Amino acid sequence: MIIERPRKTGHPLEFSSSPRERLSEVAPAPARDPAPVIYYMGRRIYFRPLEPEDEPLLRRWVNDPRVWRYLVHRPPMNAPRERAYIETLGRSDKDYVFGIAIKETDRLIGSVGLHRIDPICRSATFGLMIGDVNYHNRGYGTEATRLALKFGFQELNLNRIELSVFGNNWRAIRLYQKVGFVPEGCFRQAQYRNGQYQDEYRFAMLREEWNRLTDLEVPDSDYVTRLGA
């Protein structure tokens, strides 16, 4: 006969079983973390899709004044709005947006994107956010930028990748100049941040310029081998 009695753990009811059945019960093994999803591999980082589970972390970053003061985005981001943004990424054919993860630990530290892709002009707008401030000034933004350029020119067959940056964001300006972006102009006092009008600088890189900066004579087999390393 099955007897109902209160659980000792505080649950309302449990069904008792015979001693033999109780001895045969084995606690399930702890679930193992699934292998990381790797879309595009770099030296220290890799790009992966952004998932709904990333929403709390992304929301914390874009609401951090140390991060959003250099973003065009201005309003505070709540959970429903951030989730809706993530959900649109898989449906857009004009935006390629990736999470930036550390290869050694799989830790998500930011996002990078090629936006407003024009299939006729073969152009896109570049965007970068190293949201985890503990990983600023450690070269990850430089590597993520170079990896995004490689993806854009080598995989999407783009001819031009452009960007805009606030005039007071000297760290980003130095990064973009370092990887080979060419300045194209200044929109004077085009943005307003921290009680001041800021100039907005425009940079771009053409495919022919990227070709001169990189070695494209990499066999496919070698490339694939390094991706799996």
Question: Residue 226 — pLDDT band, cuts 50, 70, 90?
Answer: very low
pTM: 0.78
- Whether 73 maps to a domain, the answer reads yes
Pairing relation of β-strands 182-193 and 160-166? Answer: unpaired
- Whether 128 maps to a domain, the answer reads yes
- Whether 7 maps to a domain, the answer reads no
- Whether 26 maps to a domain, the answer reads no
Condensed to tens digits (0 to 9), the pLDDT of residues 10-30 reads 443 343 444 444 444 444 544
Q: Are 166 and 197 in contact (CB under 8 A)?
A: no
Q: Which amino acid is at 141?
A: G
Condensed to tens digits (0 to 9), the pLDDT of residues 144-168 reads 999 999 999 999 999 999 999 999 9
pLDDT recorded at residue 221: 38
Read off the tokens for 93.
């054919």
Cα(10)–Cα(7) distance, rounded to whole angstroms? 6
pLDDT recorded at residue 211: 95
Exposure string (b/e) for 104-116, b if CB count within 10 Å is 16 or more?
Answer: eeeebbbbbbbee
The CATH number covering residue 132 comes to 3.40.630.30
- Whether 176 maps to a domain, the answer reads yes
Condensed to tens digits (0 to 9), the pLDDT of residues 47-91 reads 999 999 999 999 999 999 999 888 887 788 999 999 999 999 878
Percent of the chain with pLDDT over 70: 79
What domain range is 133 assigned to? 35-227
Number of domains forming the structure of the chain: 1
Q: How distant, in Å, are the alpha carbons of 149, 159, 203, 205 from that of 211?
A: 11, 11, 17, 10
- Whether 22 maps to a domain, the answer reads no
DSSP 168-187: T-HHHHHHHHHHT-EEEEEE
